[in-house]
Amino acid sequence: MSETLPGGRPPGRSALTVPRIALGCGNFGGIGSSPEFFGQGLSQDQALELMDAAWQAGITHFDTADAYGGGRSELAIGRWIASRGVRPQLTTKTYNPMQAGADHGLRPERIARQLQTSLDRLGVGRVDLYLAHDDDPRVPLAESFGAFELALAQGTIGAYGVSNFGAARLAAALAAGSPQAVQNSYSLLARDDERDVLPLCAARGVAYLAYSPLAGGWLTGKYRRGERFPAGSRMTQRPEPYAGLVSGPVFDALDRLQAIAASRGTSVAGLALGWLLADERVTQVVIGPGRREHLAPVREALAHPLTAQERIAVERAAGRAAPGPAESTAESTGESTGESSGESSGESTESAAG
């Protein structure tokens, strides 16, 4: 797969080059940033094996967050870097608590502290992209971005951006600083950002990074009409962000997508990833395989690219069956449910590459 991976492009005003596909690592030692699932997900040895497979497949950008697995994700990546002697491009994030009841948010002093601990766990002196994992309404954006700008000046980050931001807050962020990327949930079943976030990114030169590209596993064929959710799947562990997808219109859309995928000789997951990769507005797709074989839909998407007409046909088949995943409840709970890369990384390409 390495020979066919698309090249990177600069995220907006940044000189940073971002590959079209990144490995999401939210399932390393947990399920995203939820403290109740810390210690679950992939073991460190399983994570190392998956990173080996991704690297061999030509995926050279790893996406994580300080709170994924309560720090276990970054530790696994750091161990992999040290033991393999190679250096992937790295995205990490901060906002969520590192354990139940711990502090969270985007205060400047917390950003500085969390960045240093991320660097320590990763075993590096610099990350390529550092994201605010959610919006913190308690702290003015300009103050938070001041901490990001200081890290940029010190050389500990290559660029900064935001995650789980709607258009209004992204516009405010652009007025308060120079975020160069936004990472949001985007898939055939979660297309709200097409209305205003994607146009804003195009107008302002902001890189758009898509997590949860398989909608929590809904675009893998694992959830079927009238059947119980598979044991251990996202819908049995953290179903809340995707509860709105449990509907007849969604199952109808999945049936139509399955028919198109079968006619092209791919899985629905491969079709869904191909749809994203065919969109020039999407700078990067963050996948979250749980096992080596879950990289197969990526290969399918690259081997069977969609034409513009095919992409339109896929969109029509998907329709507007349901709203996207539930919006973050950070303001009320202090923890992001959007899990940029926790959904994206916490989903396997079988259980959902997003």
Angle at 76 between CA 181 and CA 159, to 5 degrees: 20
CA dist 49 and 234 (Å) reads: 22
CA dist 289 and 346 (Å) reads: 8
Q: Which of 68, 95, 130, 208 is flagged as catalytic?
A: 68
Backbone phi and psi for residue 160, each to the nearest 5 degrees, phi listed first: -135, 160
Residue 242 known to be catalytic: no
3-state secondary structure of 115: helix
| Bridge partners of residue 286, in order along the sequence | 22
Judging by beta carbons within 10 Å of its beta carbon (0-12, 13-18, 19+), is residue 5 exposed, middle or buried? Answer: middle
**Can you read off the two tokens belonging to residue 197?**
């976030």
For residue 83, what are the contacts with CB-CB under 8 A and spacing of at least 6?
48
**Can you read off the two tokens belonging to residue 210?**
């898509």
CA dist 75 and 23 (Å) reads: 15
The set of catalytic residues is 68
